[in-house]
Amino acid sequence: MPLTRAVPTLLACVTLAVTGCAGGTDSAGGKSTEKVVNLYNWGDYMDPTVIPAFEKEYGMHVNYDVYDSNEILETKLLAGHSTYDIVVPSAYFLEHEIKAGVYRKLDKTKLPNLGNVDPEVAAGLSAYDPGNQYAVGYMWLSTTGIGYNVAEIRARMPDAPVDSWRMFFDPSVLARFQDCGVAMLDAPINVVGAALAFLGRDPNSESVEDLADVEQLLFAARPFIRSINSAQYYGDLANGDLCLALGWSGDIVLSRDRAKEAGRSVALAFSIPREGTVSNFDVLAVPAEAAHPDNAYLFINYLLRPEVAAKNTNALMYANSVMTKSLPFLNESPRHDPAVYPPPEVRAKLVPTRAKSPQYTRLLMHMWTRFKSHG
Ligand code: N2P
């Protein structure tokens, strides 16, 4: 919604500039003094009370526009002329985007709460952003795993291997769930990472042979898959419209809890497969062309307050980057949920998704387009 809300404000200020507008554009640096932050984020990826509380405290207006894939975000950033002040890429896309020059180096003097980010998280992020110069951790852990409707799966296969990628990559298993609805993320790097984990290969492999083997698995699964998306599947699981999804931890765990709270008969579960899986690390970054960088810093700094970071984890079921300091503010459920904070033996099986080369990405995207359209 919100980008469209930004446009009238900007236009109004340009029109009023002659007569004096509270906002307006500083012709020297292209920086605007308007009290606006244009945030471009994943859908369902911020507690709904966080933005109004920030707006009230600072007298700012936050426009929240959404996307549902790193590929969409990257295409916009590389095309230039985006109007965003803050974006939320996954670290494995950030690395390439930094090299492409789309981000502004952070002015850390404007981010006094940076010290709240756990050193372990900042160190993990520095593998993608050396020296932590361009990005701040937002959610440090999302895993790609299996979301399922317990009763529907059990009814079709009492001994279904719900903790194994065989659920998707063994067609004799997957075929049993076709009628109750199967979905997969539209996130090629994560889906391929999952398939490589199933094959016992390196989930970050860029080998052409590995990709060919994954392609075979995906094409064999395709006839049984009803939808490929990253923003609808979790609502569909909660409504009972799907019974199995290859998806992201927080979205599935949240749907599970919402269905329970609403007293629906749908009981959902999330599992991290025993073959291992990929994890993602999502960050906050300021595009080089942002018109309101100082407002962006103010909002990023606000998100790094331990109580605010905890609100986001409580609402989203993803572990935040203010890991230790936000713990006292967490609800029981994310704090003790192994899907949100996996125990050490499960964490040992998580492989952080690494940046992919442009050559490999081209091959992968070709394969993915064919996979999606394959009947
Ligand atoms: C939120 C999706 C979060 C992205 N709906 C996980 N990397």
Indicate whether 12 pLDDT > 70. no
- CATH number for 156: 3.40.190.10
Looking at the fold, whether 108 and 58 belong to one and the same domain comes out as: yes
User: Does residue 4 belong to any structural domain of this protein?
Assistant: no
For the purposes of burial, counting CB atoms within 10 Å of the CB of 29, is it exposed (0-12), middle (13-18) or buried (19 or more)?
exposed
Of 40, 41, 42, best ligand 1 pocket probe by most atoms within 8 Å of the beta carbon = 42
* Tokens of residue 166, six digits: 């065989």
Looking at the fold, whether 56 and 184 belong to one and the same domain comes out as: no
- pLDDT, the chain, mean: 92
Indicate whether 17 pLDDT > 90. no
Specify the residue with its C-alpha closest to ligand 1, atom 4. Answer: 42
Looking at the fold, whether 118 and 69 belong to one and the same domain comes out as: yes
Indicate whether 22 pLDDT > 90. no
User: Does residue 347 belong to any structural domain of this protein?
Assistant: no
User: Does residue 24 belong to any structural domain of this protein?
Assistant: no
Indicate whether 14 pLDDT > 80. no
Of 88, 142, 283, best ligand 1 pocket probe by most atoms within 8 Å of the beta carbon = 142
Give the domain range for residue 128. Answer: 36-141+281-340
Average confidence (pLDDT) over 346-360: 96
What H or E segment, with its residue span, contains residue 103? none
99 CA to middle of ligand 1, Å?
23
Band of pLDDT at residue 11, cut at 50, 70 and 90: very low
For the purposes of burial, counting CB atoms within 10 Å of the CB of 125, is it exposed (0-12), middle (13-18) or buried (19 or more)?
buried
d(CA 276, CA 134): 30
Looking at the fold, whether 104 and 219 belong to one and the same domain comes out as: no
Looking at the fold, whether 310 and 232 belong to one and the same domain comes out as: no
Give the DSSP letter of residue 44. T
Looking at the fold, whether 88 and 237 belong to one and the same domain comes out as: no
Looking at the fold, whether 148 and 242 belong to one and the same domain comes out as: yes
Indicate whether 10 pLDDT > 50. no
Looking at the fold, whether 203 and 87 belong to one and the same domain comes out as: no
User: Does residue 304 belong to any structural domain of this protein?
Assistant: yes
User: Does residue 1 belong to any structural domain of this protein?
Assistant: no
Indicate whether 119 pLDDT > 50. yes
Residue 374's pLDDT is 86
Would you state the torsion angle of the CA atoms of residues 256, 204, 164, 275, taken in this order, to the nearest 10 degrees? Answer: -120
Looking at the fold, whether 130 and 159 belong to one and the same domain comes out as: no
Query: Residue 261, CB half-sphere, CA atoms under 13 Å: how many?
Result: 7
User: Does residue 22 belong to any structural domain of this protein?
Assistant: no
